[in-house]
Amino acid sequence: MAKTKNDMQLAALIIDLFVVCYKEKYRLPPVINRATGKFPIADILKDISYENLIELVKYYFKIDTKHSFQDFTRTYHELVELKTETEKDALARKKTREETLRRVQQYREENR
């Protein structure tokens, strides 16, 4: 199936974001063939919305791993799962902290 012009434009913007994030982290530009790099990004955009892909690129540079464009395009589905699990874990930890705080306050009030 042919990629639309809009898909290619969005893919180019994602590549630009990847380059900016890479430069911020490593102070060097990544090696990316923009002409061929647009195609895997356009395929990813079929699975993930543009906004979610932006967040995924930013998340990718927060995790401790080697960062390459090829690695990102090959393992994006694993990154989506990891990001989802991390967000669920953060929410569960927040609920646990709140529950613990509530129990501590309750215990202190009962033992006055």
Number of domains observed in the structure of the chain: 1
Give the model confidence (pLDDT) of 15-60 as tens digits: 999 999 999 999 999 999 999 999 999 999 999 999 999 999 999 9
Confidence of residue 4 (pLDDT cuts 50, 70, 90): confident
User: Cα–Cα distances in Å, from 32 out to 19, 67, 94, 101?
Assistant: 9, 12, 39, 49
**Structural domain boundaries enclosing 36:** 5-110
Cβ(57)–Cβ(20) below 8 Å: no
**Which pTM value belongs to this model?**
0.83
